Amino acid sequence: MIKVHKLIKRFGSKTVLRGLDFDVHQGEFVALLGPNGAGKTTFLRILASLARPTLGSVQIAGYTLPAQAGAVRARLGVVTHLPLLYGDLSAEENLRFYGSMYGIMGLNRRVQEVLDMIGLTLRRRDMVRTFSRGMQQRLAIGRAILHDPEVVLFDEPYTGLDQDACDMLDALLRDVAERGRTVVMTSHDLARVEGLATRFDVLSRGVISASTKRDDLGKNNLLDFYRQSLAG
Amino acid sequence: MQKQTAINRPSSTYLKVIGAIVWKDLVAELRSRELLSAMLLFALLVILIFNFAIDLQPDLRITITAGVLWVTFAFAGTLGLNRSMAVEKDRGCLDGLLLAPVDRSAIYFGKALSNLAFMLIVAMIVLPIYSILYNINVLNPGLLLVVILGSTGYAAIGTLLSSMAIQTRTRDVLLPVLLFPVIVPVLLAAVKASGGFLQNLPVNEIWPWLNILIAYDVIFTAVAFMVFEFVVEE
Amino acid sequence: MKTQPKVLTFLTILSVVLFLGALGMVFLFAPIEAVMGYVQKIFYFHISNAWVGMLGFMVAAVSGIFYLVSKDLKWDIVELSAVEISLVFFLIAIVSGSIWAKPTWGTYWTWDARLTTAAILEMIYLAYLLLRQGIEDPERRARFSAVYTLIGVISVPITFLSIHIWQTIHPAVIGVGSSSSQGSFGMTPAMLITMFFCLTTFSVVFITLLWYRIRLGQLAEQVDQLKYKIMQ
3-state percent helix, strand, coil for chain B, nearest multiple of 5:
85, 0, 15
Burial of C229 (0-12, 13-18, 19+ CB in 10 A): exposed
Q: Taking the model in full, what pTM does it have? A: 0.87
User: Which residues in chain B have their CB less than 8 angstroms from residue A180's CB?
Assistant: 2
B27–A148 C-beta distance less than 8 A:
no
Q: Which of C139, C144, C152 faces B182 most closely, judged by CB atoms? A: C152
Share the mean pLDDT of chain A.
Answer: 85
A145, pLDDT greater than 70: yes
Tell me the C-alpha distance between B101 and C153, whole Å.
Answer: 33
Q: pLDDT band at residue B228, thresholds of 50, 70 and 90? A: very high
Cα C217–Cα C219–Cα C223 angle in degrees, nearest 5: 115
User: Which residues in chain C have their CB less than 8 angstroms from residue B215's CB?
Assistant: 158
C2, pLDDT greater than 80: no
- CB-based contact (8 Å) between A104 and chain B? yes
A50–B99 C-beta distance less than 8 A:
yes
CA distance B81 to chain C (A): 17
User: Which residues in chain B have their CB less than 8 angstroms from residue A45's CB?
Assistant: 234
pLDDT at A118: 84
Q: Which of C124, C144, C165 faces B164 most closely, judged by CB atoms? A: C144
Share the mean pLDDT of chain B.
Answer: 86
φ, ψ at C128 (rounded to 5°)? -55, -50
Residue A84 · residue A65 · CB < 8 Å: no
Residue B40 · residue B126 · CB < 8 Å: yes
pLDDT at C177: 37
Q: pLDDT band at residue C182, thresholds of 50, 70 and 90? A: very low
Residue B21 · residue B97 · CB < 8 Å: yes
B91–A85 C-beta distance less than 8 A:
yes
Tell me the C-alpha distance between C116 and C184, whole Å.
Answer: 18
Q: Which of C131, C143, C165 faces B178 most closely, judged by CB atoms? A: C131
CA atoms within 13 A on the CB side of B67: 9
User: Which residues in chain A have their CB less than 8 angstroms from residue B93's CB?
Assistant: 84-86
Task: Characterise A49 by phi-psi region: left (phi > 0), alpha (psi -120 to 50), beta (else).
Answer: left
* pLDDT mean over C10-35: 82
Q: Which residue of C has its CA nearest to A205?
A: C232
pLDDT digits (tens, 9 = 90+) for A2-44: 888 888 888 877 788 888 888 888 888 888 888 877 788 889 9
Q: Which of B92, B99, B101 faces A82 most closely, judged by CB atoms? A: B92
Mutation for testing the C interface, residue in B157, B169, B184 having most C CBs under 10 Å? B184
A13–C225 C-beta distance less than 8 A:
yes
* pLDDT mean over B110-131: 91
pLDDT at C180: 43
A12–C137 C-beta distance less than 8 A:
yes
Helix (H) or strand (E) holding A209: strand A207-213
Q: Which of B7, B19, B87 faces A147 most closely, judged by CB atoms? A: B7
- CB-based contact (8 Å) between A11 and chain C? yes
- CB-based contact (8 Å) between A37 and chain C? no
Cα C14 to Cα A34, C18, C24, C206, C228, distances in angstroms? 58, 6, 15, 12, 38
Q: pLDDT band at residue B110, thresholds of 50, 70 and 90? A: very high
CA distance B70 to chain A (A): 31
pLDDT at B119: 92
Share the mean pLDDT of chain C.
Answer: 83
pLDDT at C176: 34
Residue A209 · residue A202 · CB < 8 Å: yes
Residue B78 · residue B179 · CB < 8 Å: yes
Tell me the C-alpha distance between B70 and B192, whole Å.
Answer: 10
Q: pLDDT band at residue B2, thresholds of 50, 70 and 90? A: very low
Q: Which of B192, B208, B231 faces C144 most closely, judged by CB atoms? A: B231
pLDDT digits (tens, 9 = 90+) for B140-184: 888 899 999 999 999 999 999 999 999 888 888 899 999 999 999
B216–C144 C-beta distance less than 8 A:
no
B4–A52 C-beta distance less than 8 A:
no
> Which segment of A156-160, B113-117, B220-224, C92-96 scores lowest on mean pLDDT?
A156-160
pLDDT digits (tens, 9 = 90+) for A110-141: 899 888 888 888 888 888 889 888 888 889 98
CB pairs under 8 A between A and C: 16
pLDDT digits (tens, 9 = 90+) for B5-60: 555 555 557 888 899 999 999 998 888 888 888 888 888 888 888 777 766 566 67
C158–B223 C-beta distance less than 8 A:
no
Helix A133-145, helix A107-118: angle, nearest 10: 140
Three-state DSSP class for residue C7? helix
CATH 3.40.50.300 residue ranges for chain A: 2-75+149-231
Q: Which CATH code for domain A2-75+149-231?
A: 3.40.50.300
Please enumerate in sequence order all residues whose Cβ is within 8 A of that of C133, keeping only pairs 6 or more positions apart, or say none: B170
User: Which residues in chain C have their CB less than 8 angstroms from residue B180's CB?
Assistant: 123
Neighbours of chain B (3+ CB pairs under 8 A): A, C
pLDDT digits (tens, 9 = 90+) for C91-137: 999 888 888 888 777 888 888 788 888 899 999 999 999 999 988 88
CA atoms within 13 A on the CB side of A60: 27
Spell out the domain ranges in chain B.
Answer: 14-50+57-232
A13–C137 C-beta distance less than 8 A:
no
Q: pLDDT band at residue C169, thresholds of 50, 70 and 90? A: low
C162–B220 C-beta distance less than 8 A:
no
Pairing state between β A63-65 and A55-60: antiparallel
B4, pLDDT greater than 60: no
User: Which residues in chain B have their CB less than 8 angstroms from residue A89's CB?
Assistant: 24, 27-28, 31
pLDDT at C143: 94
pLDDT digits (tens, 9 = 90+) for C142-161: 999 999 999 999 988 888 88
